[in-house]
Chain A
Amino acid sequence: MSEQVFEPKIVGFLCNWCSYRAADLAGSARITHAPNVRIVRVMCSGRVDPSFVMKAFSLGADAVLIAGCHPGECHYIEQNYKAMRRFHMLRQTLKAMGVEEQRIQLVWASAAEGQQLAEAIDKMVDEVRQLGPLGWSGNWEENGERIQALEDIVKEHEQAMEVTA
């Protein structure tokens, strides 16, 4: 291991009816693509609650991919439009928190579009690789002063207790 290339961890929520089948097709057609996406199958892109995405980020994902049927082709008639509206709202919210736009992507892939999905994944992995790791939970760390300060309070109070009135 001479040179460490950053391999982003990407969580992918793929809908059962189109994009998951596209991923399946990519596999059976032996289309190679970056292995960085961990796929979670959901029944519909409309099932993806924004809290799933935030949970993924807070647990260490570098990016999240949501994939569903093309607009107008949803198995549940129009739920992918709901996914679309939610995605835009979520992306703007995450942007305000400092999460770059490329780290959350919405892709439409029909069951026949294994190639397109593979290309979209490759492109996303490249973009995220350039952004570097997200490491969200690292944002929560306080520096070492905190532990010291807490110990100091205990010590100070112990000393103060020794003083008799």
Chain B
Amino acid sequence: MSESAPTSGNGNGKAKGKLAIYWAASCGGCEISILGIDTKILDVAAAFDLVMCPCIADGKVRDIEKMADGEIDVCLFNGGIRTSEQEYMARLLRQKSKCLIAFGSCATEGCIPGLGNLHNRQEIFDNSYTSETHSTENPDNVRPQAVTEVPEGKLHLPIFYDTLKTLDQTVDVDYYLPGCPPESPRIWEAIEVLLSGNLPAKGATIGENTTVCDYCPRTRKNKKIKEFKRTWEVIPDDETCLLEQGLICAGLATRAGCGALCPQVNSPCIGCYGPNEGVEDYGARFLSALASVIDSEDPDEIDEIISKGIPDPIGTFYRFSLAGSLMRRGKRPAPAATSQ
């Protein structure tokens, strides 16, 4: 910090804003991507005081609790809501923030943690804590307990939910920034929009309104496919559309913003930027688009092509968006257990 800089103000005479960055059920990649804006982080620091970011800065929950409502100008919230503690933080930050942004795929549509919605808490814990899983050693079958009695009193752990929720299924959200993670240049563009004060309508997704295909340099001719291939079954050529080569590429259903990075290195799009503008359900859109390239008019053959080529439809169509989809989860296999 330069000596001449006042304790508040960014040199333009404007008072410094307050910025919070929080993570819930996420991997930390969003924070890395924020740091990826490189030296522009200094501009962010000039415009905002970072009041909370558990990944990269100090900042205590109790300090946030003491704030007045709406005292935080912008909160970038990444991660889905899987536990009671995360829901508490989402509610708290909503209350204290003027502008709450669902940041990244987890907060907007559930992302990979949302695939846990194919199971319930019991099943997830069984998988994580029983020695039946090869990587787990837990001979005493120790499980996390919501409440544990110790001589000093009661110890609490957050409750683990059966269903991961997206941020906007939990609290009111002002804007969305998609991507797993959002690409650093897109993050900077979003920050510029926020700093400009020229804000889009509430509920808008800050980003592109077109699909990955528009940025993909490959040539498309006539999409007709007799067989879907897995990535390991074929070495694609560099020129032709990957979908036309039989690979399941999600570019046609996925919002642009990444610059079509994956198809440019022979790897099909997996849909991390979520649905394009106006699409209510990403998976429905993707499967609908993909179904229309199947080159068959015979129901049995169609079924065969699908079951052979797409053994895991949820992982294919809803890899990033199950929790945020219309169905939100798989059928719950058993009634929720009454205790952890």
Contact = CB atoms under 8 A, between A and B. Distances in A.
Interface of A: 49-51, 53-55, 57-58, 71, 81-82, 84-86, 88-90, 92-94, 96-99, 136, 139-143, 145-146, 149-150, 152-154, 156-157, 160-161
Main secondary structure on A side of the interface with B: helix
A84 to B, nearest CB: 6
A140 B146 CA distance: 21
B76 to A, nearest CB: 22
B62 A98 contact: no
Given A51-B285, A84-B297, A92 B327 contact: no
B207 to A, nearest CB: 21
A139 B291 contact: no
Contacts of B297: 71, 81, 84
A82 B291 contact: yes
B85 interface: yes
B332 A92 contact: no
B159 interface: yes
Contact of A58 (B91, B287, B326, B333): B326
A49 B284 contact: yes
A94 B281 CA distance: 14
B271 to A, nearest CB: 14
Interface in B284-321: 284-285, 287-288, 290-292, 294, 296-297, 299, 302-303, 306-307, 310, 312-314, 317
Given A92-B307, A157-B61, A142 B161 contact: yes
B327 A58 contact: yes
Contact of A50 (B88, B288, B336): B288
A106 to B, nearest CB: 9
A152 B156 contact: yes
A50 B279 CA distance: 12
A150 B290 contact: no
Given A55-B281, A71-B297, A93-B287, 19 more contacts: A49-B284, A54-B325, A55-B326, A58-B327, A82-B291, A84-B297, A85-B296, A86-B287, A89-B291, A89-B306, A89-B313, A93-B314, A97-B314, A97-B327, A99-B331, A142-B163, A143-B338, A146-B161, A150-B87
